[in-house]
Structure 1
């Protein structure tokens, strides 16, 4: 009887011990699961913001940036005005009319000279073609005029009282000067070709050669 009683005693003690361990284990599991609940909830709540922050912004998305760059590259740029090329001057042919830009007109003689009574002033008119080829020019007394003035008074001109057409076409070779010598008889001239012309008075006079828009330097001289 005693032996059986001892066994029963120890069995009861082991049962109580096991029950206590089970209760402790249940409490520990409950505490661990209850503590992880809020953490899981918190992590679940924070996950959207984390995922949102993890998503690339439109500016940082390489695909969107590539599409935007492609669109900008294919956009038609605003048209820029194309400068017009200056028209090239055609080559000159020999024998064509001379251009004034290729001609050099000069007047010699009479400059600051004093002519005694009875002596006649003389002048040299020179015309040079500086173009690349031979050209033709009218060197008649009307086209290539020598005019003498005294102040505002027109005294004499080669274009006055010219008989016939008054034209004379000359071939001007490149660099070869054409020279004409003129002598003034001291008499006045007029465009209406009056037969009676008076003699110029002593004083200061100015001679200028004219051809188209070209003018030579003034040649100032004095008559005694």
Structure 2
């Protein structure tokens, strides 16, 4: 540079002030342009593009996201069968139902000589899932002996006092009772002396509410 450059009439300080003013002007223009770019959001861009006849460019993140449909879960309902099953659930100690019981009776002999009394073993078994109760009294569980169409004897005849006999029946554990017949008829006048049964063939059966055992055949001599 010519050493006489700064010796002109302008002066050194005037020269540097002009240079600083020009630099500040450039910085102001750059700041205005940056502010204008940052203040225009996606909405402004969309408006400009709409005015120009174009369509806004879709956000690639929105494009790849799947559409999710929310279906409300159905409220739980109780079917009539389930309600009936729940209502019919057995609890320990409830009265036994006939489908849960097995009733049987077995004779101790086939032929009884004169003076020998016929004996029978009666069993009642609970095959249900829980313990239940049953009346095994002489009227609730009647032992009946017949000969042909003749009703000869019944355990329910001429019974006095308390006749109920409620027992707890655990699953699979039989209630056992022995029945002995005195070879006399029953029924009619309970105060009178009953007649003796005649020699012949007889059939014994035990009955309960909704229950009946197999027949036991025996003979009196």
Same-fold call, TM cutoff 0.5: yes
Aligned to 1:220: 217
Structure of higher CA gyration radius: 1
- Give the CA deviation at 1:195: 2.3
187, 201, 206: which one aligns with 2:184: 187
User: TM-score with structure 2 length normalisation?
Assistant: 0.60
Confirm or deny: 8 A CA contact 1:122 1:184 kept in the other structure.
Answer: yes
1:154-187 deviations in Å (ceiling 9; x for gaps)? 1111101111131110011111000000111101
Matches for 1:58-97 after TM superposition, within 5 Å: 86=81, 87-89=84-86, 90-97=88-95
For 1:44, the equivalent position in structure 2 comes to none
Following the alignment from structure 1 to structure 2, what is the Cα–Cα distance between the partners of residues 163 and 118?
27
The equivalent of 1:139 in structure 2 is: 136
Q: Structure 2: any 5+ residue segments left out of the alignment?
A: 1-78
Q: CA deviation at 1:211?
A: 0.4
**CA drift at 1:191:** 5.1
Distance 1:88 1:184 in 2: 44
CA distance in 2, matches of 1:177, 1:191: 34
- Partners of 1:223 and 1:110 in 2: how far apart? 13
How far off is 1:85 after superposition? 5.2
1:102 to 100, 107, 115: 100
Q: Are 1:147 and 1:207, in contact at CA under 8 Å, matched by a contact in 2?
A: yes
Q: Distance in 1 between matches of 2:113 and 2:97?
A: 40
1:80-116 CA-partner distances (Å, limit 9, x unpaired)? xxxx7533253211111001110000011157x1111
What's the TM-score once normalised by structure 1's chain length?
0.59
The question of whether the paired residues in 1 share the 8 Å contact of 2:108 and 2:121 is answered with no
Distance in 2 of aligned mates of 1:208 and 1:88? 34
What pairs up with 1:1-224 in 2 under 5 angstroms?
A: 86=81, 87-89=84-86, 90-109=88-107, 113-190=110-187, 192-224=189-221
**Per-residue CA distance 1:51-71 (angstroms, 9 max, x = gap):** xxxxxxxxxxxxxxxxxxxxx
Distance 2:85 2:93 in 1: 21
Unpaired runs of 5+ in structure 1? 1-83
State the SS of the aligned residue for 2:85.
coil
| Alignment partners' CA distance in 1, 2:188 and 2:168 | 29
